[in-house]
Amino acid sequence: MKIIVCLKQVPKNDSILRINEQGNWIQDRDLTYEINESDAYGLEAALQLKEKHGGEVIALSLGPPRVQTVIKEALARGADRGLHLEDTVFDGLDAFGIASVIAAAAKAEGFDLLLTGLQSDDYGFAQTGVIAAELLGLPHATIVMDVESKEGTIRVKRELESGFFQWVSMPAPAVLTIQSGINTLRYATLKGIMAAKKKEIKKLDAAAVGVDQASLAPKMAFRRVYLPQKSKQTQFIEGTPAEIASKLMDKLKNEARVF
């Protein structure tokens, strides 16, 4: 089984965020980075499938040179080789643009499964995997919690609302977007880190992937990014438990009007 896992490098979620001068995104000053959370679970799912069925796991990341850290981390955890999509043309792409580049690179590589995380921690679009599937003309499933593979058929467990699940089957190749927390992430071992040094990371630019700037032109733009305004206030109710309970009921009835 040949699996490509898409790994996005995102700012750590406790970073100090400063809005840039244009007011349409954050500055990269003082940011530290990590693997997008759900992508890390995608990688683990891929590694577990490989352990079961054999084959190959390819770690793919798109972005500036710093994203190689993410690829190296994946190689240290057990991915077989890396694909680094890097070109200034890729700067500032929207989900459609990113999906177009990934789809082209994945198509050239060939695969049985293309995995992405459910959504990225920074943009949170949850579109990249789905658009890539459409561009490739392949079946896809989102919010995937479990993956089984049998004779060219992929069977996945999807999360629905309110604790319900759904099992769906589809033929491979397919694209899956993986939910966070579905497995236990492994650690990079010393042996893995040593082995990773010898693994290949192939760099591909726009020409190598076969995409041109015009076809990637963003169809969506950020108009304004701003910090959320604090609008909620916490009130402390004091008194004996009985008094607190009755005051709370009063507030719920008359102020919040939930009853």
Chain residues in the site for another protein (CB under 8 A): 12, 14, 16, 29-30, 32, 184-191, 193-194
Q: 167: closest CA among 138, 147, 190, 191? A: 147
Among 214, 213, 202, which Cα is nearest to 89's?
213
Q: Which DSSP string do the residues of 187-222 spell out, in sequence order?
A: PPPHHHHHHHTTS-EEEE-HHHHT--HHHH--S---
| Alpha-carbon gap, residue 175 to 56, rounded angstroms | 16
Nearer to another protein among residue 29 and residue 223 (C-beta): 29
Closer to another protein by CB, 27 or 169: give it: 27
In the complex with another protein, the residue whose CB is nearer, 187 or 226, is 187
Give the shortest CB-227-to-another protein separation in angstroms.
12
CA distance 43 to 192: 15
Nearest distance in Å: CB 247, another protein? 24
Q: What is the CA radius of gyration of the chain?
A: 22
Shortest Cβ 192–another protein spacing (Å): 9
Distance CA 4, CA 42 (A): 10
List Cβ neighbours of 104 (8 Å cut-off, separation of 6 or more). Answer: 209, 210, 211
Closer to another protein at the Cβ: 23 or 171? 23
β-bridge mates for residue 153, sequence order: 150, 171
Assign residue 162 a region: left if phi > 0, alpha if psi is -120 to 50, beta otherwise?
left
Minimum CB distance to another protein, residue 173 (Å): 29
184 or 235: CB nearest another protein = 184
Least distance between another protein and beta carbon 29 (Å): 8
> Of 191 and 219, which has the nearer Cβ to another protein?
191
Least distance from another protein to the Cβ atom of residue 90, Å: 23
Minimum gap (Å) between residue 14 Cβ and another protein: 5
Given the complex with another protein, which of 195 and 208 has the nearer CB atom? 195
Pick the closest to residue 30 from 20, 45, 43, 40 (CA basis).
20
Sign of CA dihedral 19, 21, 25, 31: negative
Tally Cβ neighbours within 10 Å of residue 87. Answer: 19
The single-letter code of the amino acid at 8 is K
